[in-house]
Structure 1
């Protein structure tokens, strides 16, 4: 472990990663138990905007790569590689020195763990949130909270990448501002 990374970062990271994954898996179980398997009648939460609509996804986010042979195993393997890379970067390389980055990667790990569990145990990912605005013809792919955590973590990382910390201008000393005689 990188000595510059304290235990508080481990606690922050794993609280977000494991808490987020648990939240994702519990919500999937509750919704699929309440609504039923794919093909069941969706439950409207906000008419013509938001509903619980169960779906099995063999691909990645928004169904990307679902037609690949053994797509669930491919994406589960990629999740494991990503998890190892995240842990190495944070706790060996020292990236956890930045608390916001630690939290963002915790969100990404939470999403990866939640969806990886589904892929390995069920052979597909359980999606259930369907956001659509019928009045304007907008229809988003069905997703789950793991997907939300992956996207939120990526957005935080992008914001961290573009943040600009302005260096303090050098302070003029009294001697340099007095003309020499």
Structure 2
């Protein structure tokens, strides 16, 4: 049975990412005004509420709205590929399964925002002494980043046969 479903049982991790992502976004939308900043670690880390109509780092954010649907279609396509990839993994490829599940959960979390709200809700703000600000981000972005780093590390791990090593 596990061969039939590959590593699809790891989809529970994607669901957990989506649930946590959406819960935190709802919290910040209910309790913060747009661009309100609350320092957590003054000079370094704050909560805020920001809307991103573009992609990562607000790429194409001010291009009239068509990008909402472009990024939605891309997210759906990537999600389908990730589910198929996850299904085809071998039982010993746990590291890769976790990486794919994190990216999938993050992609779907932001896809929901983009389609339903027309923008992605961001609320984590990292900065340096109120001079350098990293773009605000959210739990979905964090899951995508961690999953992508895991995928990159997986590519660089190798065994003597030249194939990527897993677990």
Q: Normalising by structure 1, what TM-score?
A: 0.80
Q: CA deviation at 1:166?
A: 4.2
Q: CA deviation at 1:15?
A: 1.1
Q: CA deviation at 1:4?
A: 3.0
Q: CA deviation at 1:33?
A: 1.2
SS of 2:121 mapped into structure 1:
strand
After superposition, the Cα gap between the structure-2 partners of 1:113 and 1:96, relative to the gap in structure 1 and judged at 3 Å, is farther
Q: CA deviation at 1:100?
A: 0.9
The question of whether the paired residues in 2 share the 8 Å contact of 1:49 and 1:134 is answered with: yes
Which of 83, 87, 93 is matched with 1:87 structurally? 83
Is 1:73 paired with 2:73? no
Which of 11, 36, 40 is matched with 2:9 structurally? 11
The question of whether the paired residues in 2 share the 8 Å contact of 1:5 and 1:96 is answered with: no
> C-alpha deviations, 1:95-138, integer Å up to 9, x for none?
35411111101000111111000001000000111100117x43
Which of 88, 104, 129 is matched with 1:109 structurally? 104
Report the Cα distance in structure 2 between the residues aligned to 1:96 and 1:24, rounded to whole angstroms. 28
SS of 1:132 mapped into structure 2:
strand
SS of 1:53 mapped into structure 2:
strand
Structure 2 segments unaligned to the other structure (5+ residues): 162-167
SS of 1:143 mapped into structure 2:
coil
State how many pairs are aligned: 159
Q: CA deviation at 1:86?
A: 0.9
Number of the residue aligned with 1:170: none
Is 1:20 paired with 2:14? no
Q: Normalising by structure 2, what TM-score?
A: 0.87
The question of whether the paired residues in 2 share the 8 Å contact of 1:96 and 1:102 is answered with: no
Correspondence list, 1:147-162, <5 A: 147-162=141-156
Correspondence list, 1:107-146, <5 A: 107-134=102-129, 137-146=131-140
Report the Cα distance in structure 2 between the residues aligned to 1:138 and 1:85, rounded to whole angstroms. 36
SS of 2:49 mapped into structure 1:
strand
Query: Deviating runs (4+, > 6 A) in structure 1?
Result: none
Structure 1 segments unaligned to the other structure (5+ residues): 168-181
The question of whether the paired residues in 1 share the 8 Å contact of 2:8 and 2:86 is answered with: no
